[in-house]
Structure formats: structure tokens, C-alpha cells
């Protein structure tokens, strides 16, 4: 009798053990999807915590065709090159911003407004890439604005303009060759740079030196700095140049290019050169239309991502 009770007890213990094992397995299985969902939630929150953006800053232009061909083309190239980043736009010219708002009902942010919105929208990593040519007044204003937002993001970096380090000049000249016509000894290209009262006006002289080192019949003048068109004419005559192609060395072919360079007014570079006896051709395209210059801006952004915004080569 006792032996029978013991056997029943053993059977009962085995049944209880099996039931407990099944319950534990069921609990483990029910927890796995929850853990998976937790992992997904963590991944989503991680992505949200590292919201990355690129703010492309330019002076701007009120000419819609050249804006699309230059500024928008550069923005689109940058966006396509860095799909993990959201690309936004800012103009530094309040006059152009106002004109676009009143004339076309187009709203463009200043750098301050754009960065404020990016802060509100939860961006943590921001690259500010100017489309400026030289590190002059406009570029320094961008640096000042960015400095005001240095504590607003986990990381904020400013890319350099086209002309900065000596290797940048060499790359800029190589890229410029893509749009230069074939030139005979008595033919030349005259570049119209913007020019400035800022010490960065010296960038144009450095550019001229690199162009000369390459043996190119290309002369750099400025509309609001040095050298001026009269200085360039003296060089053209010294080199016995008879035919000139005028070309803007600016991001966009806007007001300066259309009027000060290529206009029919007596004080345009075209009219002045023609009065001096030169045959004049016009190349009315901004640097932003040149795919090579678009790539230069893409490289500037990549340098920021790589922690080398100034493009300093390691020795």
C-alpha cells in the first residue's frame, strides 16, 4: 500500500515538473517579441537622438534660372551625396530674401533663422556649408552666427569656401579648366571675381599665381576690389591679346555678371574692352553650374564629416 502511494507521488512530481517546464518555456517565448520590440524602439530613439542635417548657405540671387542652375544644383548634389543628412537652405542677403518674398512669395531663411529651426526640430549634428568663393566678410558672418549656436547642438561644423588652402586653389584651377575654351596665343579669358575690402581680396592674387603657374592665358579681375578692369587691360596689352572671353568667377551669374560684366552700358567690362579694341565673347554661367565645382562643395562636406573641415593634409 505504501509502495503504491510512493509511485503515485513520483508520477505526480513528474507531471508537476513537466507543467512547470512548459509554463517557463511559454513565458520565455512571450518575452522574445517584447525584447525585439524594445530593441526596435531603442533603434528608433537612437536615430531620433542623432538627427543630422546640412545647412547650405549662399549669398543668394533673385534670378530664378541661375538660382536653379547653380544654388539648387549644388544643394541637390550635396543631398544626393549624403542621404543620411537632411539638407536645408539659407541666404545671407536680406535684400534678396526680402525681394523674393515680396515678388515671388518665396520664403528663404537667414542662417540665424535656419539654425534656430534646426534646433527646434531636434537636430543634433549640423554641418554648415557655405557656397562662398573666398573666406571674406560673408564667410566670417557665417562663422559668427554658427558660434552663437555652438551650445545648441551636439556637434556643429563649418565647411570652408572654394579658395582656402593652397591645395584648394590647385583643385579650383583644375576644375575651372572644364569650362575654359581652347585659347591661341592672342586669346585670353578674363575672370570677373566679386572683390572685397576684406583682406581676403588677396585670394584673387593667389588664384592668379596658380593660373600663371599652369601657363594659362587667364586673368583675374574684380568688380569691387583689386585688380580692376583697367589693371587687366594693361596685362592684356602687355601679352598682345586681341580676343577676350569674359567669364564670371562667382557662384551665380546674377546681376554683376549680367550687367557689370556683360551689359551694354558704357561702364560694363564688355563695353570697356570693346572700346579698347578687343573682340569680346561672353560666357554667362556661374561656377555653380560646373559639375566639378559642385563636387568641390561635396568634398568640403565630406571633410567636415571626416573631422578635417579646413582640409589640412597630414604630414
Q: Does residue 30 lie in a domain region?
A: no
User: pLDDT averaged over the chain?
Assistant: 89
Q: Which residue has the higher pLDDT, 308 or 24?
A: 308
Give the integer Cα–Cα distance in Å for 194 and 201: 9
Mean pLDDT score, 38-52: 61
Mean pLDDT score, 129-156: 97
pLDDT per residue as tens digits for the range 246-280: 999 999 999 999 999 999 999 999 999 999 999 99
Q: In what order do the strands lie in the sheet with 86-91?
A: 86-91, 52-58, 125-130, 155-158
| Residues 187, 98 share a domain | no
**What DSSP letter does each residue of the chain carry, written as one string?**
-HHHHHHHHHHHHHHHHHHHHHHHHHHHHHHHHHHHHHHHHHHHHHHHHT-EEEEEEE---S-HHHIIIIIHHHHHHHHHH-TTSEEEEEES-HHHHHHHHHHH------HHHHHHHHHHTT--EEEEEE--SSSSHHHHHHHHHHHHTTTTSSEEEE---SS-SHHHHHHHHHHHGGGPPP--TTEEEEEEE---SSGGGHHHHHHHHHHHHTT--EEEEESSSSS-HHHHHHHHHHTT--EEEEEE-SSS--HIIIIIIT-SSTTSHHHHHHHTT-EEEE----GGGSHHHHHHHHHHHHHHHTT-TT-PPP-
| Residues 219, 173 share a domain | yes
CATH assignment of the domain containing 80: 3.40.50.1400
Work out the pLDDT band at 314, boundaries 50, 70, 90.
low
Give the integer Cα–Cα distance in Å for 115 and 145: 9
Q: Does residue 314 lie in a domain region?
A: no
- Does the structure show a pLDDT above 60 at 158? yes
Work out the pLDDT band at 16, boundaries 50, 70, 90.
very low
Mean pLDDT score, 197-216: 98
| Residues 144, 212 share a domain | no
- Does the structure show a pLDDT above 70 at 6? no
In sequence order, what are the residues at sequence separation of 6 or more whose Cβ sits closer than 8 angstroms to the Cβ of residue 213? Answer: none
Give the integer Cα–Cα distance in Å for 16 and 286: 83
Give the integer Cα–Cα distance in Å for 98 and 77: 27
- Does the structure show a pLDDT above 70 at 37? no
Q: Does residue 311 lie in a domain region?
A: no
| Residues 236, 143 share a domain | no
pLDDT at position 38: 47
Catalytic residues: 194
Work out the pLDDT band at 189, boundaries 50, 70, 90.
very high
Share of the chain above pLDDT 70, in %: 84
Q: Does residue 4 lie in a domain region?
A: no
Q: Does residue 10 lie in a domain region?
A: no
Give the integer Cα–Cα distance in Å for 303 and 160: 9
| Residues 170, 115 share a domain | no
- Does the structure show a pLDDT above 80 at 119? yes
| Residues 301, 154 share a domain | yes
Q: In what order do the strands lie in the sheet with 218-222?
A: 218-222, 187-193, 243-248, 279-282
| Residues 262, 220 share a domain | yes
Beta strand 218-222 pairing with 52-58: unpaired
| Residues 258, 185 share a domain | yes
| Residues 300, 201 share a domain | no
Q: Does residue 25 lie in a domain region?
A: no
| Residues 191, 140 share a domain | no
Q: Which of 2-16, 42-56, 185-199, 225-239 has the lowest mean pLDDT?
A: 2-16
pLDDT at position 46: 52
Record the cell numbers describing residue 75, joined without a space.
544643394
| Residues 99, 56 share a domain | yes
Closest CA to 273 of 315, 244, 302: 244
| Residues 126, 170 share a domain | no
Record the cell numbers describing residue 33, joined without a space.
517579441
Q: Does residue 41 lie in a domain region?
A: no
Which residues span the domain enclosing 197?
A: 166-288
Q: Does residue 34 lie in a domain region?
A: no
**How many domains in the chain?**
2
Amino acid at each position: 500500500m505504501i509502495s503504491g502511494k510512493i509511485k503515485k507521488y513520483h508520477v505526480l512530481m513528474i507531471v508537476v515538473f513537466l507543467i512547470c517546464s512548459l509554463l517557463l518555456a511559454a513565458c520565455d517565448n512571450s518575452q522574445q517579441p517584447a525584447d525585439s520590440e524594445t530593441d526596435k524602439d531603442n533603434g528608433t530613439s537612437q536615430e531620433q537622438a542623432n538627427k543630422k542635417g546640412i545647412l547650405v548657405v549662399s549669398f543668394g540671387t533673385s534670378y530664378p534660372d541661375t538660382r536653379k542652375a547653380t544654388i539648387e544644383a549644388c544643394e541637390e548634389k550635396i543631398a544626393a551625396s549624403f542621404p543620411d543628412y537632411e539638407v536645408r537652405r539659407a541666404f545671407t542677403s536680406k535684400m534678396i530674401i526680402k525681394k523674393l518674398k515680396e515678388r515671388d512669395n518665396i520664403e528663404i531663411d537667414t542662417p540665424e533663422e535656419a539654425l534656430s529651426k534646426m534646433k527646434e526640430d531636434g537636430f543634433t549634428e549640423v554641418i554648415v556649408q557655405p557656397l562662398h568663393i573666398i573666406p571674406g566678410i560673408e564667410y566670417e558672418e557665417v562663422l559668427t552666427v554658427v558660434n552663437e549656436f555652438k551650445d545648441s547642438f551636439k556637434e556643429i561644423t563649418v565647411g570652408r569656401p572654394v579658395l582656402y588652402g593652397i591645395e584648394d586653389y590647385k583643385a579650383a584651377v583644375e576644375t575651372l579648366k572644364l569650362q575654359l575654351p581652347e585659347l591661341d596665343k592672342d586669346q585670353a579669358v578674363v575672370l570677373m571675381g566679386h572683390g572685397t575690402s576684406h583682406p581676403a581680396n588677396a585670394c584673387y592674387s593667389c588664384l592668379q599665381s596658380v593660373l600663371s603657374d599652369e601657363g594659362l592665358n587667364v586673368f583675374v579681375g574684380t568688380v569691387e576690389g583689386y585688380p580692376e578692369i583697367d589693371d587687366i587691360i594693361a596685362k592684356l596689352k602687355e601679352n598682345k591679346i586681341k580676343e577676350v572671353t569674359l567669364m564670371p568667377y562667382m557662384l551665380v551669374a546674377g546681376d554683376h555678371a549680367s550687367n557689370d560684366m556683360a551689359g551694354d552700358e558704357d561702364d560694363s567690362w564688355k563695353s570697356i574692352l570693346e572700346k579698347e579694341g578687343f573682340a569680346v565673347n561672353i560666357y554667362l554661367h556661374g561656377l555653380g553650374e560646373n559639375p566639378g565645382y559642385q563636387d568641390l562643395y561635396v568634398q568640403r562636406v565630406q571633410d567636415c564629416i571626416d573631422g578635417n573641415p579646413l582640409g589640412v593634409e597630414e604630414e
